A and B are shown apart, each in its own frame.
Chain A
Amino acid sequence: MAEQRSPVDGAPLVTLYDEELPPDNSYAFSPEELEEDEMILNMGPQHPSTHGVLRVELKTDGEIVKDARPHIGYLHRNFEKHAENIDYQGVIPFTDRMDYVGSMGNSLAYALTVEKLLGIGVGERVAGIRVITAELQRIASHLLAMGTYGMDIGAFTPFLLCFQQRERILDLFEWLCGARLLYNYNWVGGVSHDLPEGWTDKCRRFLDEFVPVLDEVDKLLSHNKIFIRRTADIGIITPEMAKDYALSGPNLRGSGIDWDLRRDDPYLGYENYDFNVVVATSPHGPVGSCWDRYFVRVREMYESVKIVRQALDRLPAEGDVHENVPRFVRPLAGEAYCRSEAPRGELAFYIVAENKKPIPYRVKGRSPCFVAMGLFHEITRGEMIADIIAIIGSLDIVLGEIDR
């Protein structure tokens, strides 16, 4: 047994085992423990509605789910170990692949952490561009969450209407940096490309046309009687539970807790923007239901539109986006932890640096989806099979981020 210790204070970071551990099957359900009329149903990793390669094992009694156990790791790509072997800037494309429907937020969180480690800041124009891209990414990500959630409940049409709008955001990003999904856009100390000429006008036009469409989809899905009855009294996360399990982002605000890092721990000058933190009001049932989490995301899109409009208005006309990009990233020995409000919640990176080395000693990602999966078994117990799908969808998980 060997231990990896922090170069800063000698604290243990990773325990390495010399011999191979035997496979541990105690986590899976065993057929022996089943009672009469119970059945094990394996949902995933290949299933239309587990939002990726999540595998859920259900112990069912008819349509009732007695117990549910999620199995993760089917998309594990060794992000943290990779990061220990690549220079600081080189890690950014890997962060993009964590939450692959909200890439801008990931690289932003990582860039902010490295900047904190180096003690450098960014200019006003770069901060503005980062806010615009991060909020557009939030809209794109929430659109996907909204559309696929409708599909989980059985409504197909909102999905395509949402994706049409999402495509337009991806078009904007493609124009900006050449990529539609994994952007590698936020660099340490800057962004990769300045806004092209005419981009801001196109972006404004998109916002103007997007809001009516969002209204329409909202009318079509959110206040549909069937949709409300399917979602408004299942998957209840009480405020206490949400705090105990350290939820963040829309899942936390869906439980009625007023907490948003953009307002409570501002970065990139978010304190200067005028926006509301959306908290669930739950008109249709107990607070913390699937409908609340879903509706927080819908209303957050309107707030993001507001922020993007303000950021576009304030954006300084001139400024070099590469001004603060360091030639070499070689921080002094130390550690940095920086958190930010990604579309799915509090995304943070923790970096331990060795003195003047070009590669990080340790990079740890704090993923909001992984944390949210922690309480999955609690809120699914006793619900019905159809509700399992509704609950997975309402947590809005991305397996790339859970497994990393």
Chain B
Amino acid sequence: MITRFRQIEMRLMGPLTMIPIVLLLVILGTIAALPVVATILSELVADFVPPALQHLTIVVLGTAGFVGILALNPIYSIWLERKVAAHVQDRLGPMRVGWHGLLQSFADGVKLMFKEDLVPRDADRVLFGAAPMLAVASAFAAFAIVPWGVREDGTVLAVANLNIGVLYFIAITSLGALAVLMAGWGSNNKYALYGGMRAAAQMVSYEIPTAILVLVVVAQVGSLSIPDIVNAQAGGILGVGDWLIFQLFPLNLIAFVLFFICGLAETNRTPFDIPEAESELVAGFHTEYSGMRFAFFFLAEYGNMLLVSMLAALLFLGGWIGPFGSNPLLFFVKGFGLVVVQMWLRWTLPRLRVDQLMGICWKYVIPISFFLLVVTTVIKGLL
């Protein structure tokens, strides 16, 4: 009986499994060929769209592209996270739905879509409804300034090539704290309130060292524009030697590690996941959320994970510059590699307590960041 059931399942799942695999290959292929794709697209736009709308069309197309990637990101990331967790814990993880459980996240997504959208009776409906949207919006909006690479003529492959990109990044990510606070307050639940308050305190505190560490990079490169920062890291041994992380050794290495720690804290990942500390606060700020609103928080969380990883890759690991020439795919792989490191940490480390977390920020991370800023600036000035 069970074998028969399994056979039917296999027959159904076999072709369906191809969907995520093909989708992934298409996405990766597009990213790898992004300079070519962008050239073709801009030529098409130049041919068929009236001149007044050309710029707008390109921005819309670019936005659609990265929103598509971000919407699919949780599906692969959650699958990857569950696989990483499973293998850390000596088990298999999802195996039944599709090839090695690849369709599991799709199934979960469908389930979340059809779940009843519960709102607690005494909740603040406006804040409760707006919080997940704001969370997603802040996570997605920050991606607008992420440059994916450069074309041969020097044009940057970004939706918005701002000359103050890093400032925009710092400003937009602050909105995430507001969303979490709104969710915690609007739920009218004491556990959610605790989660929201913790999140606000944590995110606001860790924004300070993040900004200082970004300044460390800016002070060395002399530009607020992210493409300039990446271009300054080109060259060197094997195309790797001039990555910022290897310059002024070990100052920039420390800066990178601290930046990554701040990223963990800003995205509420273990060991800094106290806003949703499962064993203390049930689920923290999203205790009362279900269905798609809950899924939105997931979307935002995985979007933020990818964002801080990509930013770390851009600022310290040379972005799209690597030993085999420059390619957007290389940048994507670097970003996703750091996401995997985040997952690895999550399934290995326990959680800090809220006062210890703040202690680490104010007693260690901020002073060291200031020290790094001063020292790197002085060295740059002397050189």
Interchain CB contact (< 8 A) of B349 among A49, A155, A384: A155
The CA of A234 and the CA of B167, in the complex, are separated in Å by 42
The CA of A384 and the CA of B347, in the complex, are separated in Å by 24
| Complex contacts, A388 vs chain B, CB 8 Å | 280
B313 nearest CB across to chain A (Å): 26
Contact of A154 with B271 at beta-carbon distance under 8 Å, contacts A49-B279, A386-B280 already known: yes
A90 nearest CB across to chain B (Å): 39
Q: Mark B265-301, 1 if CB is under 8 A from A, else 0.
A: 0000011011001111110000000000000000000
| Complex contacts, A157 vs chain B, CB 8 Å | 85, 88-89, 347-348
A residues 187-233 in Cβ contact with B at 8 Å? 220-221, 224, 226-227, 229-230
Is the CB–CB distance between B273 and A154 below 8 Å? yes
Is the CB–CB distance between A160 and B91 below 8 Å? yes
Is the CB–CB distance between A48 and B282 below 8 Å? yes
Is the CB–CB distance between A41 and B190 below 8 Å? yes
| Complex contacts, B347 vs chain A, CB 8 Å | 156-157
B372 nearest CB across to chain A (Å): 23
B352 nearest CB across to chain A (Å): 6
| Complex contacts, B78 vs chain A, CB 8 Å | none
A383 nearest CB across to chain B (Å): 10
| Complex contacts, A243 vs chain B, CB 8 Å | none
A371 contacts the other chain (CB 8 A): no
| Complex contacts, A164 vs chain B, CB 8 Å | 90
Contact of A63 with B349 at beta-carbon distance under 8 Å, contacts A48-B279, A157-B89 already known: no
A277 nearest CB across to chain B (Å): 29
B194 contacts the other chain (CB 8 A): yes
A47 contacts the other chain (CB 8 A): yes
B207 nearest CB across to chain A (Å): 21
Q: Mark A39-56, 1 if CB is under 8 A from B, else 0.
A: 101100001110000000
B222 contacts the other chain (CB 8 A): no
| Complex contacts, B271 vs chain A, CB 8 Å | 154, 226
The CA of A386 and the CA of B358, in the complex, are separated in Å by 14
| Complex contacts, B89 vs chain A, CB 8 Å | 156-157, 160-161
B residues 233-285 in Cβ contact with A at 8 Å? 270-271, 273-274, 277-282
B349, B352, B355, B356 interface centre (most CB from chain A within 10 Å): B349
Is the CB–CB distance between A226 and B350 below 8 Å? yes
B111 contacts the other chain (CB 8 A): no
| Complex contacts, B90 vs chain A, CB 8 Å | 160-161, 164
The main secondary structure of chain A at its interface with chain B is helix
For chain A, give the interface size range: 20 to 34
Is the CB–CB distance between B280 and A226 below 8 Å? no
| Complex contacts, B354 vs chain A, CB 8 Å | 63, 384, 386
A15 nearest CB across to chain B (Å): 40
Is the CB–CB distance between B282 and A154 below 8 Å? no
| Complex contacts, B353 vs chain A, CB 8 Å | 229-230, 384, 386-387
Contact of A152 with B349 at beta-carbon distance under 8 Å, contacts A164-B90, A386-B354 already known: no
Interchain CB contact (< 8 A) of A150 among B85, B194, B350: B350
B351 contacts the other chain (CB 8 A): yes
Interchain CB contact (< 8 A) of A230 among B282, B348, B352: B352
Contact of A154 with B277 at beta-carbon distance under 8 Å, contacts A41-B190, A48-B282, A160-B91 already known: yes
Q: Which residue of A lies closest to B351 (CB)?
A: A154
| Complex contacts, B270 vs chain A, CB 8 Å | 154
| Complex contacts, A151 vs chain B, CB 8 Å | 279
A42, A151, A153, A224 interface centre (most CB from chain B within 10 Å): A153
Q: Which residue of B lies closest to A229 (CB)?
A: B356
A385 contacts the other chain (CB 8 A): yes
Chain B residues bordering chain A, tally (CB within 8 A): 27
The CA of A13 and the CA of B354, in the complex, are separated in Å by 49
The CA of A161 and the CA of B190, in the complex, are separated in Å by 33
B284 nearest CB across to chain A (Å): 12
A333 nearest CB across to chain B (Å): 51
| Complex contacts, A384 vs chain B, CB 8 Å | 353-355
B224 nearest CB across to chain A (Å): 36
Q: Which residue of A lies closest to B353 (CB)?
A: A386
A261 contacts the other chain (CB 8 A): no
Q: Which residue of B lies closest to A156 (CB)?
A: B347
Q: Which residue of A lies closest to B348 (CB)?
A: A157
A49, A152, A221, A386 interface centre (most CB from chain B within 10 Å): A386
| Complex contacts, B351 vs chain A, CB 8 Å | 153-155, 226, 230, 386
A373 contacts the other chain (CB 8 A): no
| Complex contacts, B279 vs chain A, CB 8 Å | 48-49, 151-154, 389
Q: Mark B50-73, 1 if CB is under 8 A from A, else 0.
A: 000000000000000000000000
A residues 55-73 in Cβ contact with B at 8 Å? 63
Is the CB–CB distance between B278 and A224 below 8 Å? no
The CA of A389 and the CA of B90, in the complex, are separated in Å by 27
Is the CB–CB distance between A47 and B88 below 8 Å? no
Q: Mark B196-215, 1 if CB is under 8 A from A, else 0.
A: 00000000000000000000
Interchain CB contact (< 8 A) of B85 among A47, A156, A226: A156
| Complex contacts, A229 vs chain B, CB 8 Å | 352-353, 356
B residues 340-383 in Cβ contact with A at 8 Å? 347-356
A39, A161, A164, A226 interface centre (most CB from chain B within 10 Å): A226
The CA of A155 and the CA of B281, in the complex, are separated in Å by 15
B88, B281, B353 interface centre (most CB from chain A within 10 Å): B353
Is the CB–CB distance between B282 and A224 below 8 Å? no
Give the B-binding residues of A (Cβ under 8 A): 39, 41-42, 47-49, 63, 150-157, 160-161, 164, 220-221, 224, 226-227, 229-230, 384-389
9 residue pairs, one from A and one from B, having the closest CB atoms: A154-B351, A155-B350, A49-B279, A160-B89, A153-B350, A154-B350, A386-B353, A227-B350, A226-B350
A-B contact pairs, 14 of them (CB 8 A): A39-B190, A42-B190, A153-B351, A154-B271, A154-B277, A154-B351, A155-B349, A155-B351, A156-B347, A161-B89, A224-B349, A226-B352, A230-B353, A385-B281
Give the A-binding residues of B (Cβ under 8 A): 85, 88-91, 190, 194, 270-271, 273-274, 277-282, 347-356
